[in-house]
Amino acid sequence: MNSDSFYRDTFVLTISNLAMAVIRFIFSIVLSDKLGAEGVGLYGLIMPIYDLFCCLVCGGLVAAVSKEVSSYYGTNSYKNMNKSVRYTLSFILVWAIFVTIIMFALAPFFSKYIIKDIRTLYSLWVLCPALIFIALSSVLKGYFFGVMEVNTPAIIDIVEKALRLFVTLSLIDLFLLKDISKTVTATYSSFAIGEFVSFVLLYIFFKKSCKKFDYSLGQDKYVENGAQLLFNCLVVAFPLAVNGFLTTAISSVSTLLIPGRLVTAGMTHTLALEAIGKFCGMTLNIIFFPIVIVISMATILVPDISKNITKGNYSAVECRVNEVIKMCFILGISIMLVCLVIPTNLGMLFYKRNDLDAFIKAAAFSVPFLYGSSCTYGILNGLGKQKAILINSLITAVVELILMYILMAIPSINIFGFAIAIFASSLLGLILNILEINKSVHLSISIYKFFVICLLTLITAFLLRIFNAIIPNVNFIIKNIFLIFIGSGLFLSSIFIIRKNSDSCKNL
C-alpha cells in the first residue's frame, strides 16, 4: 500500500464515518428533543449492556479478519482468503445465536438488579436480534478492509445509520409515543432493523467481490484446512475480544455506577439522570465527534502495518506510525481549543442549551490525550502486540473506574469526576502505549516542528478569541461554523508540516 493509498482509504473511511457521526449527532439531538435529559440518561444506561454482549459475539473480529485477509490478499492466496472468511462466518453464526439466547434470558435480571430500572426490559429484548447481525457483519467488514475495498462497508454503514434514524422517528410519530420507556424501546428496535439491513447488503457485495478473484490463478502454496484457518483468525481475535470484553465490562460498571454515586453526592435520581444526559448524552457527543478521523486511521493502519511487516518494509511502518500519532494528537489539540474558547456557542449550536459550557470545558482537556491514545491502540494491533493492548486497556479502565467511584460521590465535584477520570485514564493510556510502541518502532520528535506547532496553537487560540469577540451573533450558525473552521486550521497546517520533507514515506 503506497502513501497515497493509505491516505486515500483513510479519507474515504473518514468521510463515511463523518457522515455516520453526523447522523448519530442528529440522532442524539432528536433523542434529546423526544426524550428530554432524563430519557437520554435512561437510554445511555442500556447501551453498556449491549456493548458488553457485542464484545462477546464479535470483539476483535474486524481487526483479526482484516489482518488475516490482507496477508493472504498480499500474497495472492485467494483460496485460503475465501475459505478463512467462510469458516469464520459459520463459527460466528453459531456463537452469536448462543450469546443472544443468554442475553434474552438475562434481560430481566439486568433491568431489575443491574440497571435498577424496570423500564429498560423491553429495550434489552428488542436489542437481542441485533447481536447476530452485527457479529456476521463484523466478519464481512474485516474482509472488505483486508482487500482494501473500504468504500463498500463505508457506504453501507451510512445507509444503516440513516435507516436507524428514519425508523426511530417513524415509530415515535406513527404510534404517538410519549412514555419514556416505550420511546426508548422504539429507539432500540431500530438497531436490530438497521443491523439486519446492513448484513444483507454486506453479504450481497461480499459475494460480488469474491467473483473478482480468479482462484485458479491464485498463488496459494497450499490450501490449509478450515479448522486451521479459523484458528488463525480466532487466535488474533481472542485477546482483542478479551480486552474489549473486560474493558467494556469495567466501563459498563462505571456507567451504571454513575447514578448511584451522584445520588450519594446529594442529587435526586431524576437530577442524576439529567446530569448523565447532559454530560454523556450531549457533551461527549460534541467533543468526540471528530474522533471518527482517528478511528478511520486506526482501522486502515492494521492491514497497512501488517502488509508492510510481511514485506519486511520496516522503514515504512516507522514513518507511518510517527505521522499518525502526531496527526491524531494535534487534531485533539484543535478540538480542545475550540471547546475551551466557545463552549456556550457549541451547546447552543447543537442542542439549543446554554447550560453545557461547564461540561464541555471540563471534558475538553482530555481530548488530545484521548485521540492520541486511540490511534496507538490501532498501531499496537498492527504490530501484533495484543497482549500489551489487553494489559494497558485494563490498567486504564481500572484507573478510570476507581477515580469515578471516588470523585463523583464528592458533592463539589459530582459529574465532573467523570471528566477528571477520562483525562487521567487517557493520559495514562497514551504514555503506556507510546512506551510499548517505542520498543518496536523508533518514535522521533523534531524540535523545530514542535515549536512551530506550539506557535500555531497559540495563534489559533488567539484568533478564535478575537473572532468570537468581534463577530456578532446575528448569523449565529455561520459564525460558529467559521470559528470551528479556524480551529481545524491548526490540524490542517500541522498535517502539511508533518508531511513536509518526509522523504522516507515516498515509497510507502
As a three-state string, the secondary structure of 353-418 is CCCCHHHHHHHHCCHHHHHHHHHHHHHHHHCCCHHHHHHHHHHHHHHHHHHHHHHCCCCCCCCHHH
Confidence class for position 422, pLDDT limits 50, 70, 90: very high
**Orientation of helix 3-58 relative to helix 291-310, angle to 10°:** 100
What is the rounded distance in angstroms from the CA atom of residue 241 to the CA atom of residue 225? Answer: 24
Confidence class for position 141, pLDDT limits 50, 70, 90: very high
What is the rounded distance in angstroms from the CA atom of residue 369 to the CA atom of residue 95? Answer: 36
The average pLDDT across 445-474 equals 81
Q: How far is CA 246 from CA 19, 113, 214, 252, 386, in A?
A: 30, 20, 41, 10, 14
- In the predicted structure, residue 368 carries a pLDDT above the cut 80: yes
- In the predicted structure, residue 155 carries a pLDDT above the cut 50: yes
Q: How many CB atoms lie within 10 A of CB 487?
A: 24
* Long-range pairs for 93-101: beta carbons < 8 A, 24 or more residues apart: 93/132, 93/135, 93/136, 95/57, 95/135, 96/57, 96/58, 96/131, 96/132, 96/135, 96/136, 97/132, 99/53, 99/56, 99/57, 99/131, 100/53, 100/57, 100/128, 100/129, 100/131, 100/132
- In the predicted structure, residue 424 carries a pLDDT above the cut 90: yes
pLDDT at 150: 80
Most distant pair of Cα atoms in the chain: their distance: 70
* 124's grid cell: 434489552
Most confident of 175-189, 267-281, 351-365: 351-365
Q: How many CB atoms lie within 10 A of CB 36?
A: 16
Confidence class for position 247, pLDDT limits 50, 70, 90: confident
> Please, where are the H alpha helices in 408-475?
416-437, 447-470
Rounded to the nearest integer, the mean pLDDT of the chain is 83
The average pLDDT across 338-355 equals 88
The average pLDDT across 445-451 equals 72
CB-based contact 136:93 (threshold 8 Å): yes
Lowest mean pLDDT segment, chosen from 38-42, 128-132, 313-317, 473-477: 38-42
What is the rounded distance in angstroms from the CA atom of residue 504 to the CA atom of residue 338? Answer: 33
pLDDT at 202: 94
What is the rounded distance in angstroms from the CA atom of residue 433 to the CA atom of residue 324? Answer: 14
Confidence class for position 503, pLDDT limits 50, 70, 90: very low
- In the predicted structure, residue 505 carries a pLDDT above the cut 70: no
Phi, then psi, of 166 in degrees rounded to 5: -65, -45
pLDDT at 195: 92
Phi, then psi, of 299 in degrees rounded to 5: -65, -45
Which of residues 214 and 210 earns the better pLDDT score?
210
- In the predicted structure, residue 25 carries a pLDDT above the cut 80: no
Residues with Cβ within 8 Å of 325's Cβ and at least 6 positions away in sequence, in order, are 372, 375, 376, 379, 434, 437, 443
Confidence class for position 45, pLDDT limits 50, 70, 90: confident
* 301's grid cell: 493502519
What is the rounded distance in angstroms from the CA atom of residue 363 to the CA atom of residue 355? Answer: 14
pLDDT at 506: 46
Lowest mean pLDDT segment, chosen from 243-257, 274-288, 367-381, 433-447: 243-257
Cα 126 from chain centre:
23
3-state secondary structure of 336: helix
Confidence class for position 140, pLDDT limits 50, 70, 90: very high
pLDDT digits (tens, 9 = 90+) for 253-274: 777 788 888 888 888 878 888 8
pLDDT at 508: 44
Lowest mean pLDDT segment, chosen from 171-185, 282-296, 343-357, 450-464: 171-185
The average pLDDT across 437-463 equals 79
Confidence class for position 507, pLDDT limits 50, 70, 90: very low
Confidence class for position 364, pLDDT limits 50, 70, 90: very high
What is the rounded distance in angstroms from the CA atom of residue 407 to the CA atom of residue 413? Answer: 6
CB-based contact 140:88 (threshold 8 Å): no
Confidence class for position 116, pLDDT limits 50, 70, 90: confident
Lowest mean pLDDT segment, chosen from 4-13, 17-26, 397-406, 420-429: 4-13
SS3 content of the chain, % helix, strand, coil (to 5): 85, 0, 15
Burial string for 325-341 (b: 16+ CB within 10 Å, else e) reads bbbbbbbbbbbbbbbbb
* 445's grid cell: 520528535
- In the predicted structure, residue 4 carries a pLDDT above the cut 60: no
**Orientation of helix 151-174 relative to helix 3-58, angle to 10°:** 50
Please give the share of the chain, as a percent, with pLDDT higher than 90. Answer: 21
- In the predicted structure, residue 227 carries a pLDDT above the cut 80: yes
- In the predicted structure, residue 504 carries a pLDDT above the cut 60: no
What is the rounded distance in angstroms from the CA atom of residue 95 to the CA atom of residue 55? Answer: 12
Most confident of 13-17, 111-115, 136-140, 270-274: 136-140
Phi, then psi, of 352 in degrees rounded to 5: 55, 40
DSSP assignment letter at 503? G
pLDDT at 204: 94
Class of residue 139 by CB neighbours under 10 A (exposed 0-12, middle 13-18, buried 19+): buried
Phi, then psi, of 383 in degrees rounded to 5: -80, -5
User: What's at 445, amino acid-wise?
Assistant: I
pLDDT at 37: 67
Most confident of 139-153, 238-252, 313-327: 139-153
What is the rounded distance in angstroms from the CA atom of residue 508 to the CA atom of residue 70? Answer: 16
